[in-house]
Amino acid sequence: MDTTTGALRRLILRTLLPGFDGMTVPAWLVAAHRDGLASVCLYGANIADPAAVSALCADLHRRCPGLLIATDEEGGDVTRLHYLAGSPEPGNAVLGRLDDPALTAASARRIGRDLAVLGIGLDLGPVVDINSAPDNPVIGVRSFGATAPLVARHAVAWVRGLRDAGVAACAKHFPGHGDTTTDSHLALPRVDATREVLDARELEPFRAVVQAGIPAVMTSHIVVPALDPERPATFSPAVLRGELRGRLGFRGVIVTDALDMAGASGDIGIPEAAVRALAAGADLLCLGPNTGPDLLERVVAAIEDAVAQGRIEPEELAASAARVQALIDDQATPSPAPAPGTDPRPEIADAFEIGAGAAAWLADDAPAAIVQVESEANLAVGRVVWGAAAVGATIAAGDVPPGAKVAVVARGLAAGHPAPAVADALRAAGHPVIVVECGWPRGFGDLVTYGASAGVGRALVELLTRLPDPVEVPEGSASR
């Protein structure tokens, strides 16, 4: 193969998936595209109003013909297209509780239509991790559920729904991030399950989507000692070539989770993380947001050095670049236009878990007030508006009028969360109070919604206020 400087640079750039800052196409990205860069990822920093996002995507395609645009549009809590207002879709945990694959496919088709209109060809979803650890800090309601058969059937439905809209799916986070209590954005988690448990649990949804023809799978920055006791999955030939390519038979594009995460590059830096991922068998390296020209060139230089030192075989690099190009070519082939928005929408509230206390609260004919307590989200979610606040239905705790019943809305109700103290203070003031958990339940909460998207928030508000009229929010009041 041709390993001259220009040809090698072109191959390397073909394997990179950078992000960039802002709402305009940077000159360095256009220059890199001329040299071989073929894909880019949009993040929250690239999202403004719909017209601006549409203009950005159109400009990317105009200035970089053939470019593959990717983004994390999972629907539910993790959204990029709806980063400012929250996603109208319910999210995976709600869909899993409803357990109607037709509704799951319909949700994915709507997401796919939104992406396809903008020319976004690769969606970094669905999450097919099994949330087997209730206190998982990064998966939670992004998962369809806690059992392999449930997650597998909804993962396949989601992939097919997205495909119906002409958009490629990318299942994540291989070989399974659900049985962790550490966020790989911040550290390096471990999954200490046996191989037998991994086969029956973590790997089953991936096996199902591979058999369904998924074009891309994303790695996770986790150590799974039963598969590789030393290296995170993203850097492990045993996991990527042995398990994913070998035992599962996957032939598509292996995408890394973002290499700026601490679980990947915290101790070694992004350029070295890129080298290790390519050497292990990854094809497309997600560099994270705000890549910039300096980091891009340092990554290219590190991979060039690794090829010269024999750490990366030129033939393997060429094969990775070819797989990426095949995905791009496939997405460039026009698909039949999807039918307009005729897909059924779920009754989201049917997925809510309503305890006895919440049922009694709902039956109370007192006027309802909703107080939302700010709850920190993980880095995958970001600072997206959520819950009842996403539909403008919250009131400050200090503005609750006498005689009102109050729903205190929060998420991630672990020990030490401020929401119970807010609820206690309102009870002491004479209000009937329930606590609403908008995340995965951890033992707290009178009502659990299994999601915090704007769509879930709307359904929650309708449920909480369905008997009386809601309390009028005073002018200038803010949620807390």
Which secondary-structure segment (H or E) carries 71? strand 68-71
CB atoms inside a 10 Å sphere around CB 238: 17
C-alpha 19/C-alpha 295 separation (Å) is 11
C-alpha 103/C-alpha 347 separation (Å) is 10
Residue 308 phi, psi (nearest 5): -65, -35
Q: What is the largest CA-CA distance in the chain?
A: 78
**Segments of 109-175 assigned E as strands:** 122-123, 168-174
> Are 28 and 292 contacting, i.e. CB atoms less than 8 angstroms apart?
yes
Q: Is 424 a catalytic residue?
A: no
Q: Is 221 a catalytic residue?
A: no
Residue with tokens 């990822």, as numbered in its chain:
41
77, 114, 228, 257: the active-site residue: 257
Q: Among candidates 381, 432, 389, which has minimal Cα distance to 410? A: 389
154, 177, 185, 417: the active-site residue: 185
Q: How far is CA 289 from CA 258, 322, 365, in A?
A: 8, 24, 49
Beta-strand pair 353-354/447-448: antiparallel
CB atoms inside a 10 Å sphere around CB 192: 11
Which sign does the torsion angle of CA 109, 115, 118, 119 carry? negative
C-alpha 452/C-alpha 142 separation (Å) is 10
Residue with tokens 């070998």, as numbered in its chain:
246
C-alpha 224/C-alpha 373 separation (Å) is 36
Which sign does the torsion angle of CA 354, 356, 360, 361 carry? negative
> Are 128 and 177 contacting, i.e. CB atoms less than 8 angstroms apart?
no
Inter-helix orientation angle 292-308/5-14, to 10°? 120
Q: Which residues of 254-270 are buried (b: 16+ CB within 10 A; e: fewer)?
A: bbbbbbbbbbbbbeebb
Q: Among candidates 139, 233, 218, 239, which has minimal Cα distance to 180? A: 139
Please tell me the total number of residues recorded for the chain in this structure: 480
**Residue 8 corresponds to which tokens in the numbers above?**
């090698």
> Are 254 and 243 contacting, i.e. CB atoms less than 8 angstroms apart?
no
- Using DSSP's 3-state secondary structure scheme, residue 153 falls into helix
Which sign does the torsion angle of CA 145, 151, 154, 155 carry? positive
Question: Catalytic residue positions?
Answer: 185, 257
